[in-house]
């Protein structure tokens, strides 16, 4: 005897999953009133769902703005699923080759809203190296991976982002960031110095799928005394671009 799968669905669980899905879309900002309206539920019910998810670390709330975000526990849970996905499966061998060639840490990164998440890593064998970043996320404007992933967004979207975040002291100058992203878009490569810590340099390039959509980025990271300008320009960037091209082809991307 068979039954439709919907027979076994639990409404509260379904609503909780709908809520988590809604949190991945930041337009409009995921505040309690906006979430309640989007899901067609009372504010009281959405609040109870959010409180439950927040208690498990699956959801976080920004003080002051009242905006809810996907929590670190959700990221950690997603990472367990992603570890077996084709993205890492295809990327890891390329990352290993790059790490061994240059003896620097190489990461696979994706955007999570306005932040960049460090998914996978192959570390260097150097005695002096940067702190491992796997599983961590940072504002996109603090590192090369985030900047290269966001470079295709318009000035209007950047302005909306800054309005959502308010007048925080850690935000860069919007005009300067816009100019930097324009240059990154033209070159196809991002280089950041100090955004992830004093003396830390990161270099990143994007990976595209069959439709030409940017899906992730490769980022190499190391201390500034090894990541010198000449080495970055003549060795690291060409290698990263070659690796990104190989990966993009694996996902069906082809230049015409």
> pLDDT digits over 49-94, tens only?
998 888 888 888 888 788 888 877 766 666 655 544 667 888 889 9
Confidence of residue 10 (pLDDT cuts 50, 70, 90): low
The three state secondary structure string of 230-252 is HHHHHHHHHHHHHHHHHHHHHCC
The boundaries of every CATH 1.10.10.10 domain in the chain are: 5-70
**How confident is the model at residue 84, as a pLDDT?**
46
**How confident is the model at residue 169, as a pLDDT?**
60
Residue range 78-250, CATH number: 3.30.450.40
Distance CA 85, CA 99 (A): 21
**How confident is the model at residue 76, as a pLDDT?**
63
Number of H helices, E strands in the chain: 10, 8
pTM recorded for the entire structure: 0.64
- Across the range 182-197, mean pLDDT stands at 91
Residues 207, 213, 215, 220, Cα dihedral to 10°:
30
Tens of pLDDT, residue by residue over 123-168, are 988 888 888 888 888 888 889 999 999 888 766 777 777 676 665 5
The boundaries of every CATH 3.30.450.40 domain in the chain are: 78-250
Residues 211, 215, 220, 224, Cα dihedral to 10°:
110
Tokens read off for 253: 């991307």
Tens of pLDDT, residue by residue over 200-225, are 999 999 999 888 888 899 999 999 99
Which CATH architecture describes the domain 5-70?
Answer: Orthogonal Bundle (1.10)
Tens of pLDDT, residue by residue over 177-186, are 888 888 999 9
First-to-final CA distance of the chain: 53
Mean pLDDT of the chain: 83
**How confident is the model at residue 146, as a pLDDT?**
92
> Which is it for strands 137-139 and 59-61: parallel, antiparallel or unpaired?
unpaired
**How confident is the model at residue 8, as a pLDDT?**
38
């Amino acid at each position: 005897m068979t039954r439709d799968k919907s027979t076994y669905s639990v409404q509260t669980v379904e609503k909780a999953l709908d809520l988590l899905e809604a949190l991945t879309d930041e337009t409009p900002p995921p505040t309690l009133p906006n979430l309640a309206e989007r899901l067609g539920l009372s504010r009281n019910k959405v609040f109870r769902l959010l409180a439950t998810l927040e208690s498990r670390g699956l959801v976080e709330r920004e003080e002051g703005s009242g905006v809810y975000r996907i929590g670190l526990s959700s990221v950690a849970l997603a990472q367990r699923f992603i570890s077996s996905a084709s993205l890492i499966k295809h990327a890891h061998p390329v990352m290993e080759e790059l790490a061994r060639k240059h003896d620097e840490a190489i990461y696979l990164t994706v955007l999570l809203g306005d932040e960049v998440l460090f998914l996978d890593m192959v570390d260097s064998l150097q005695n002096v190296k940067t702190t491992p970043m796997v599983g961590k996320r940072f504002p996109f404007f603090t590192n090369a991976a985030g900047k290269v992933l966001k470079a295709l967004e318009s000035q209007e979207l950047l302005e909306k982002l800054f309005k959502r975040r308010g007048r925080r002291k850690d935000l860069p100058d919007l005009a300067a960031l816009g100019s930097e992203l324009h240059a990154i878009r033209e070159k196809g490569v991002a280089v950041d110095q100090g955004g992830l810590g004093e003396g830390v340099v990161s270099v990143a390039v994007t990976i595209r799928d069959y439709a030409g959509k940017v899906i992730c980025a490769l980022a190499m990271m190391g201390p500034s005394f090894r990541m010198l300008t000449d080495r970055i320009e003549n060795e690291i960037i060409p290698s990263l671009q070659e690796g990104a091209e190989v990966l993009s082809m694996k996902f069906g991307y082809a230049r015409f």
